[in-house]
A = this chain, B = another copy of it.
Amino acid sequence: MNKINRKVEYALIALKHMRAKAPGELTAAKEISTLYGCPFDVMSRVLQALGKRGLVRSEQGAHGGYQISRDLAKVSFYELNEMLLGPVAVAKCLHEEAGEPSCEMRGKCNIVSPVTTLNRKLIEFYRGLSLAELLDPRHASVQSRIPTNIAQAAADAAAVAEQR
């Protein structure tokens, strides 16, 4: 349940693998796929997608491969999702007609779907979660936390902190 998308899973595995390498060292898609037992094609596609979005750098030809090109402490899990699957959820509210792109009533409307609220909170959560934090649990949360620009997130966090 609430299964994580396989592409995202593969991306995390690949990133973790490449992260352990020396700077500048390339990793072939095949190396990862054979090592972790996942299909080459799919892993290959994932890396290509990440390459297009600038998270990894690719080098073609023999002895080619991929390497991480951004600081993973500054890339959120939200971004990774977006790179591989497009913008996160925002399930269409049952109160809206399908196709209506955005409603300026939103925020004031008192029948705003709980679904919308959930999506907002999930996105906040994803945005505040860095890949570095995910890939290395020992990595101190303080450094790798990505601040969101949404006041609510800070308020929520303070609330939790106060409960201790």
Chain A residues with a Cβ under 8 A of chain B: 1-5, 9, 12-13, 15-16, 36-38, 77, 81, 85-89, 91, 94-95, 112-115, 117-119, 121-122, 125, 128-129, 134-135, 137, 141-142, 145, 147, 152-164
Smallest beta-carbon distance A162→chain B, Å: 7
Which of B1, B4, B87, B113 interacts with A87 by CB under 8 Å?
B1
A5 / chain B contacts, CB cutoff of 8 Å: 1-2
A85 / chain B contacts, CB cutoff of 8 Å: 1-2
Going nearest first, the 6 A-B pairs with the smallest beta carbon separation are A157-B160, A1-B85, A12-B114, A142-B159, A161-B161, A2-B89
Smallest beta-carbon distance A141→chain B, Å: 5
Smallest beta-carbon distance A130→chain B, Å: 11
Are the C-beta atoms of A164 and B154 separated by less than 8 Å?
Answer: yes
- In the assembled complex, the Cα of A85 lies from the Cα of B3 at a distance in Å of 11
Q: Given the known A-B contacts A81-B2, A94-B37, are A117 and B137 also in contact in the complex, defined by CB atoms under 8 Å?
A: yes
A112 / chain B contacts, CB cutoff of 8 Å: 137
Q: Given the known A-B contacts A1-B85, A77-B118, A157-B161, are A113 and B145 also in contact in the complex, defined by CB atoms under 8 Å?
A: no
Nearest B residue to A145 by beta-carbon distance? Answer: B159
25 examples of A-B residue contacts, CB within 8 angstroms: A1-B81, A2-B5, A2-B85, A2-B122, A4-B91, A4-B115, A12-B114, A13-B94, A13-B113, A36-B94, A36-B95, A38-B94, A77-B118, A112-B137, A117-B134, A117-B135, A141-B152, A142-B162, A145-B159, A147-B160, A154-B163, A154-B164, A157-B160, A158-B161, A161-B161
